Amino acid sequence: MAIPCKLLCVLTAGLILATPARAEDVPELPPLTSPWNSEVELGYQSLSGNSNTKSLNSRLGLTYVKDQFRQQAEAKYLLAEEDNKEKKRKGQVELQSDFIINERAYVLGNTSYIDDKYGPYFKDFTLATGLGYRVIRLENLMMEAEAGPGYRHQEPNIDEIDDDDIVVPETVDELILRGSTRIIWKPSKDVELSLKLTGIAGNSNSTLETQVSMTSAVSEHIAIKLSNTQKFNSWVPEGLQKRDGTMTINLLFQY
């Protein structure tokens, strides 16, 4: 018995639709990933009783990576009071732009601005360029090193300071050498350890800043971060320490 043409077409279409597609026949869609990564840190402490102390510290970090370019921005703010008297107020902004040459090397431009009411310089501005190199590139360990020349402008802090504050009366405009090393190690999925060393050498003075931090994840987007920052100055007035340190415990929000 002959099968009508229309019925044959319907049966053929039904067999095609019912046949499962092979994995290789289904095109894979690229993962939906954003070139942006952001971090927000907040920490606050208030003590009352025989002495009243308050401290507030915050940080905002932004990273944008696309093609051969990586842009990074970081802003920090620290405020400390004791018995309603301000003891520390410091704001810092750092911007860096990298052009990736290959898997290891990149060219960078870095600028940093510090406004520190109780530091040796009320305003501290640096602009530097140079080369960076990824020394280690493993799944759970990364190390980068940077070096290059730059320029520094510093304005002395001579207003509203105490006798034990660092005072450098001269305005500084000079060429500098800047070097930086960053190490990030993830011993487990939820724990990250990082170390950043930044050295700046100039005729007037030289500094070395170390930042050591440990991040422990609480959830996918929230973590607790402990950070210790130490800054060493090559010269300070007689009777003062060359080291200045800050310890913070913050909540970290990652997006």
How confident is the model over 65-113, as pLDDT tens digits? Answer: 999 999 999 999 999 998 888 888 899 999 999 999 999 999 999 999 9
Let me know if residue 56 belongs to a domain: yes
The per-residue pLDDT for range 182-204, each reduced to its tens digit, is 999 999 999 999 999 999 999 98
Domain residue limits at 77: 34-254
User: Would residue 2 count as lying in a domain?
Assistant: no
Task: Give yes or no for a contact between 162 and 134, defined as CB atoms under 8 angstroms apart.
Answer: no
Q: Which range is least confidently modeled, 36-50, 114-128, 138-152, 228-242?
A: 228-242
Domain count for the chain = 1
DSSP classification of residue 3 = P
The pLDDT score that the predictor gives to residue 242 is: 81
List, for residues 225-236, the tens digit of each pLDDT value: 999 999 998 876
Which of 154-163's residues contact partners 24+ apart within 8 Å by CB, and which partners? 154/121, 154/123, 154/124, 154/125, 154/204, 155/121, 155/122, 155/123, 155/124, 156/120, 156/121, 156/122, 157/116, 157/117, 157/118, 157/119, 157/120, 157/121, 157/122, 159/122, 160/117, 161/118, 162/118
Percent of the chain with pLDDT over 90: 60
Average pLDDT over residues 157-181: 75
Look at residue 18 and tell me if it is in a domain: no
Is 70 inside a domain boundary?
yes
Which pLDDT does position 26 carry in this prediction? 47
- pLDDT: is 119 or 29 the higher one? 119
Whether residue 175 contacts residue 202, with contact meaning beta carbons closer than 8 Å, is answered with yes
Q: Does 9 reside within a domain?
A: no
CA distance 213 to 229: 9
Question: Could you tell me the CATH number of the domain that includes residue 181?
Answer: 2.40.160.40
